[in-house]
Amino acid sequence: MGAARQLPQREIFRFFAPLAALAAPPLRLLVLMPALEACLALLRGVLVNRRYTRAVRAVSAVEIGLIALVLAVAVGPLGAVGVTAAAWALLLGRLAATALLRRACAAPRPAAAAPERGVARGVPFR
């Protein structure tokens, strides 16, 4: 058996140029994702602390639905490249979720409901 053929560095980098051109636009879009994720985690934490989880569930469902819808429209009728369509879908879904959670956090707290199960006179059972 002979030694594996060594590709010159010039030939290797020739293959990376088209891939880099394909990956650059989605990466530019996804640069906002860490900030959006931190904002979403903070807003979800505020709502969970207020025990207003219905908004968290509803916004998560809207986010997933919007991601699926944008991805389907971008790949189908618009014919976008898959990775670019996925980046747009994720970004728009996260932006919508952040806006909706921010709105839910700004809303006045709902009226106090009946005591929760496992809680007597405001003190949790241990």
Q: Encode pLDDT of 82-119 as tens digits.
A: 888 899 999 999 999 999 999 998 887 656 655 556 55
Query: CB–CB of 94/63 below 8 Å?
Result: yes
Alpha carbon separation from 70 to 41, 54, 62, 82, 101 (Å, rounded)? 23, 24, 12, 11, 20
Q: Tokens at residue 31, please?
A: 């640069």
Which amino acid makes up residue 70? V
DSSP 123: E
Which amino acid makes up residue 124? P
pLDDT recorded at residue 97: 96
* Residue 52 belongs to a domain: yes
* Residue 120 belongs to a domain: no
Q: Tokens at residue 38, please?
A: 């931190």
Comparing 13 with 65, the larger pLDDT belongs to: 65
Domain count, the chain: 1
* Residue 118 belongs to a domain: no
The residue-averaged pLDDT of 30-54 equals: 92
Comparing 56 with 12, the larger pLDDT belongs to: 56
* Residue 74 belongs to a domain: yes
* Residue 10 belongs to a domain: no
* Residue 14 belongs to a domain: no
* Residue 124 belongs to a domain: no
* Residue 50 belongs to a domain: yes
Domain containing 48 equals 23-104
Q: Hunting for tokens 């996804």 — which residue is that?
A: 30
Alpha carbon separation from 25 to 14, 20, 83, 113 (Å, rounded)? 19, 9, 9, 48
pLDDT recorded at residue 34: 93
pLDDT in tens, 54-76: 999 999 999 999 999 999 999 88
